[in-house]
Amino acid sequence: MKWYDIVFIIIALIVIVLSLLQGGKSEGASGAITGGGLNVFAKTKERGSEKIISWMTFGFAVVFLFMALLIMLLNSRGSAPADSTDSAAAAMAIIPLLGF
């Protein structure tokens, strides 16, 4: 496991925690289950800590996206051509199991 894998896991955990900290827009747990009061496009004004958490979630999600792309590029450069044929063969072996 390399340093960027550890950073990626930490950023993923931060995004998860920040997403869970955001306040719900419905009427609580009963509204989430029954779908009551579900209005996604309602004009709700975020203020104070809600706005900060929302912006932090967005920022860390963007960093998460770029880290995923960076790790993909770093891993594709470091792999040998034999590894890519092995992974292609493994993918072809899985396809009949999935029913395609």
Structural domain range at position 68: 3-35+43-98
Q: Give how many domains the chain has, as a whole number.
A: 1
Mean pLDDT of the chain, nearest integer: 75
Span 35-68, pLDDT tens digits: 555 555 556 666 788 888 889 999 999 999 999 9
Q: Are 36 and 27 in contact (CB under 8 A)?
A: yes
DSSP string, 28-78: SHHHHHH-TT--TT------THHHHHHHHHHHHHHHHHHHHHHHHHHHHHH
pLDDT above 70 for 18: yes
Helix (H) or strand (E) holding 23: none
pTM of the model: 0.59
